[in-house]
């Protein structure tokens, strides 16, 4: 069966070029595309791709948020390959936290892109371990005093969030009801004074101790 691919990029020429490029490969099929984050979030669950190519910078948001949303809402989300024109540690960091399977500069050649899609569809990760370790280490600092207010179950849930897991995955790992996980997530976000899971994960990884 062909590998199903979705393309998110705000430039029409880029989307068309990627479609023509990928559909020239016998084992790849472009099942949809979008120019905005909102369109991608609406369309990806409907077409159920194996791999999603997501532009990091978009007019109405960013591809990292799209990755996080579809991984949280879909039972079997696609592997997300983040594509960007600029190399930045903070973007790589948030991509890791959102659960992206790969992070590549747009300057990669045709063969490398096609190979990356095939590898992601096979379940591999394209996040370089050396770069990932360096980036995460750069965000570590002394333990945040806000952890004092977190209960033991909240700390366990937060550690899972920092590893990029969705509520459903956390529920399975910790043997909890998904509703219970949602309660813990809401509680720990309130105690850490942050609004998003990614922000909570950043707080976690800035600590020298693992929870």
Is beta strand 61-62 parallel, antiparallel or unpaired with respect to 57-58?
Answer: antiparallel
pLDDT value at position 93? 77
Answer whether residue 204 shows pLDDT above 80: no
pLDDT tens-digit map of 36-76: 999 999 999 999 999 999 999 888 888 988 998 898 889 88
Say which residue, 89 or 56, is predicted with more confidence: 56
Rounded distance between C-alpha atoms, residue 23 and residue 16, angstroms: 11
If you average pLDDT over every residue of the chain, what do you get?
A: 84
Say which residue, 125 or 79, is predicted with more confidence: 79
Q: What is the pTM of this model?
A: 0.66
Rounded distance between C-alpha atoms, residue 9 and residue 13, angstroms: 9
Contacts (Cβ under 8 Å, ≥6 apart) of 60: 36, 37, 38
pLDDT tens-digit map of 153-168: 998 898 888 777 788 8
Say which residue, 109 or 211, is predicted with more confidence: 109
Answer whether residue 209 shows pLDDT above 50: no
pLDDT value at position 210? 40
Say which residue, 87 or 59, is predicted with more confidence: 59
Question: How far are the Cα atoms of 111, 130, 150, 194 from residue 108, in angstroms, in the given order?
Answer: 8, 19, 43, 36
Question: How far are the Cα atoms of 28, 56, 87, 160 from residue 81, in angstroms, in the given order?
Answer: 15, 10, 14, 21
pLDDT tens-digit map of 126-155: 876 666 666 666 555 555 667 778 888 998
Tokens 């978009």 label which residue?
58
């Amino acid at each position: 069966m062909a590998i199903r691919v979705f393309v998110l990029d705000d430039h029409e020429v880029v989307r068309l070029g990627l479609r023509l490029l990928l559909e020239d490969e016998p084992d790849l099929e472009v099942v949809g595309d979008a120019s905005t984050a909102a369109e991608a979030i609406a369309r990806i669950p409907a077409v159920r791709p194996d791999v999603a190519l997501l532009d990091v910078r978009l007019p109405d948001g960013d591809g990292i948020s799209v990755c996080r949303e579809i991984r949280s809402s879909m039972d079997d989300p696609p592997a997300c390959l983040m594509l960007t024109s600029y190399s930045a540690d903070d973007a790589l960091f948030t991509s890791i936290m959102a659960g992206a399977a790969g992070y590549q500069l747009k300057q990669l050649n045709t063969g490398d892109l096609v190979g990356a899609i095939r590898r992601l569809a096979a379940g591999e990760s394209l996040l370089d371990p050396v770069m990932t370790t360096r980036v995460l280490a750069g965000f570590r600092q002394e333990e945040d005093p806000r952890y004092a207010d977190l209960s033991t179950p909240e700390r366990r849930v937060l550690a899972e969030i920092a590893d990029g897991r969705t509520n459903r995955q956390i529920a399975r790992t910790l043997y909890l009801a998904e509703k219970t996980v949602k309660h813990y997530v809401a509680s720990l976000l309130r105690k850490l004074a942050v609004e998003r899971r990614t922000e909570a994960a950043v707080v976690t990884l800035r600590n020298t101790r693992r929870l």
